[in-house]
Amino acid sequence: MPKVIKIKKGLNIPLAGTADLVIERAPLSDYYAIRPVDIHGVVPKMMVKEGEEVKAGTPLFFDKNNEKVIFTSPVSGVFVEVVRGERRRIMEVVVKSNGKNEFVDFGRTHLQDLSREEITDKLLKSGTWPFIRQRPFSIVANPVDVPKAIFVSAFNSAPLASDLDFVASFDELDFQTGLDAVARLTNGKVHLSVDALNTKLQAFLGAKYVEIHHFEGPHPAGNIGTQIHHIMPINKGEKVWYVSVQDLIVIGRLFNQGVYDATRVVALVGPEVLKPKYYKMISGAQITSVVNGNVKVSNDSDLRFISGDVLTGTKIEAYGYLGFYDNMISVIKEGNKPEFMGWLLPNLNRFSISRTLPSFLMPGKKYSLDTMVRSGERPFVMTGIYEKVMPMDILPMLLIKAIMINDIEKMELLGIYEVGPEDFALCEFVCPSKIEFQTIVRDGLDVIRKEFA
């Protein structure tokens, strides 16, 4: 029997709208976009002009902070627009699809014939390098670094998350090729984490050239930060990399087929979806191709469309685009309607982590939750509630306070190098003080990164 790492602290949110194990090919969108705001730390510099024809794999922009890191078009067509926000910040780089599968040919290659430098160069030129991210700081990895280890999570424990056994079953060969490729980028090990109870896919359990770890427990057991903490905690000065399963599949296709094929399996989920299921679609697609006619409320102002999961995803419009790293679209109600008597009124359809409401009597019930915060931000309350959902050896409240007062020494002592914003998503969800934990943690990581740059 393999050793099982049991996670006891955490919380599974019983949200309705899990995707059925049914997959369809989504209709091609007219427009696709890369959103630089999804890729933290990247400052884009355009490499194409409006009206210029592109293929899947044609460079669109590079990162000013590291000119080797480029981002390529996910589809063939015409580059039509740069959407800018405040202070002319680039928010979206939009390509109009021509409906054809035209790819830049990067050449099929056998990994055993390539050196580490040649593998890195191919990943950079194809635009697949940004799929490899680094802890600490949760940013795109620097190609000149050699990480202590590389981590991959073969399961996702977030609310309504994709079944990665089902997703990867369509691309097992490409997944293994992707693992083989990233394994050549480190002198250490590749650590693959699986669900001790639910992972059955042989591509995961029998993966080659990796060290497999079995996890059991509630969310955030599937978070890469939780897994790194329990397998190989990060100390100051150390760097590890991580890649998601679907991004590894895209990397595998690059070597097996010689093209940047950004097709991925996306779960459309949530209590407001009529038929939650999986779609094959291209990264950056406009979500209208799958949500139109498949949501319960006709008035879009009453719905929250989220690229990603409900805890860590990004709010987008009904005509918005799938995020660069996202493999799911969540749809829930906006909490914009007043409530009579608020929490004082008994309600069997409201979830609570405490015994204030009767939800604790119905452990198997699924709930249709909305975005209502119910009150505003207020001073921290010493309740011990954060420690109940934080399965890392971290003191959440003390670390957040150190970040808020910009005390770098205390941040380091309290474990800032081990965490990412998503590791505090549950703390934010249960917080009685309505503190935006994830935003604060991101600000703290940015301060540390600039301080020691």
pTM (2 d.p.): 0.95
Would you place residue 381 in the very low, low, confident or very high pLDDT band (cuts 50, 70, 90)? confident
Is residue 333 a contact partner of residue 302, using CB atoms and an 8 Å limit?
A: yes
**High-pLDDT (> 70) share of the chain, %:** 95
For the stretch 276-323, pLDDT in tens is: 999 999 999 999 999 999 998 766 568 999 999 999 999 999 999 999
CATH class assigned to 4-26+103-257: alpha beta
The Cα–Cα gap between 87 and 90 comes to: 9
Question: Does residue 341 register a pLDDT over 70?
Answer: no
Q: What is the pLDDT of residue 10?
A: 97
For the stretch 424-448, pLDDT in tens is: 999 999 998 999 999 999 999 999 9
Q: What is the pLDDT of residue 353?
A: 79
- Domain positions in the chain: 4-26+103-257, 385-451
For the stretch 419-429, pLDDT in tens is: 999 999 999 99
Average confidence (pLDDT) over 199-211: 96
